[in-house]
């Protein structure tokens, strides 16, 4: 029996330990490492050479989606599997675009998670069916890259002046991007637009 080596990246220690313990009970799965920050994943992958890396989405340093993008760019022989509390439809499409081999939510039973790891390791792509259906109903993000960037800064409470400096744009251009985003999301203001976009996983 070939052993599947896994790495777990999640900012909640309890989740990391629980997943590691449950999955280590499987005869063909071996936990080779874990970390709590997205920017710790790449060095650990190089060090431990896992077959599958389980990634949470919201982590300090880098998000799970950003980590998946890096792994794809560096052509590491590892399959990223997103395991997250945040089953937002926009996250799913962004994760798959980033090169994730699977996307499931954390309340998935341990036996099902183990089976998902096996499928991902064998080269299949596995997506939570309920989330896939919701993603299709919501559709792709209507936001351009710049509109998304200005909304991310808005969510953090930055002023138009600060956003302009941060993104090297004029204040007028920032206002135009904000206006477009507000219109596309049928929002009341930029904060409402940021909230709606975040709820759909588009930020």
Instruction: Give the model confidence (pLDDT) of 14-53 as tens digits.
Output: 999 999 999 999 999 999 999 999 999 999 999 999 999 9
Instruction: Tell me the CATH number for domain 145-199.
Output: 1.10.10.10
Residue 36 CB-half CA count within 13 A: 7
DSSP 39: G
Superfamily of domain 4-138: Response regulator (3.40.50.2300)
Residue spans in the chain of domains classed CATH 3.40.50.2300: 4-138
pLDDT for position 203: 79
Q: Give the mean pLDDT of the chain.
A: 89
57-99: pLDDT as tens digits: 989 999 999 999 999 999 889 999 999 887 676 788 888 889 9
Distance CA 9, CA 95 (A): 15
Structural tokens at position 73: 């760019």
102-148: pLDDT as tens digits: 999 888 888 999 999 999 999 999 988 777 666 665 667 788 989 98
Closest CA to 108 of 119, 99, 98: 119
Structural tokens at position 173: 């251009």
How are beta strands 102-105 and 4-9 bridged, if at all? unpaired
Closest CA to 199 of 146, 151, 163: 151
Share above pLDDT 70 across residues of the chain, in percent, rounded to a whole number? 94
Regarding pTM above 0.75, the answer is no
């Amino acid at each position: 029996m070939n052993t599947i080596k896994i790495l777990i990246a999640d900012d909640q220690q309890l989740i990391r330990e629980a997943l590691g313990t449950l999955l280590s009970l499987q005869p063909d799965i071996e936990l080779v490492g874990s970390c709590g920050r997205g920017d710790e994943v790449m060095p650990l992958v190089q060090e431990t050479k896992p077959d599958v890396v389980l990634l949470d989405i919201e982590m300090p340093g880098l998000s799970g989606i950003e980590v998946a993008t890096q792994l794809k760019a560096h052509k590491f022989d590892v399959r990223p599997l997103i395991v997250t509390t945040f089953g937002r439809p926009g996250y799913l499409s962004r994760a798959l675009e980033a090169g994730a081999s699977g996307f499931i939510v954390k309340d998935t039973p341990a036996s099902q998670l183990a089976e998902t790891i096996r499928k991902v390791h064998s080269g299949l792509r596995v997506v939570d069916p309920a989330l896939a259906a919701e993603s299709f109903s919501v559709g792709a993000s209507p936001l351009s890259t710049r509109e998304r960037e200005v909304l991310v800064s808005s969510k953090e409470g930055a002023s138009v002046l600060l956003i302009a400096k941060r993104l090297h744009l004029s204040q007028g251009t920032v206002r135009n991007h904000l206006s477009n985003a507000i219109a596309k999301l049928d929002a009341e203001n930029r904060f409402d637009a940021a909230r709606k976009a975040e709820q759909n996983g588009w930020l």
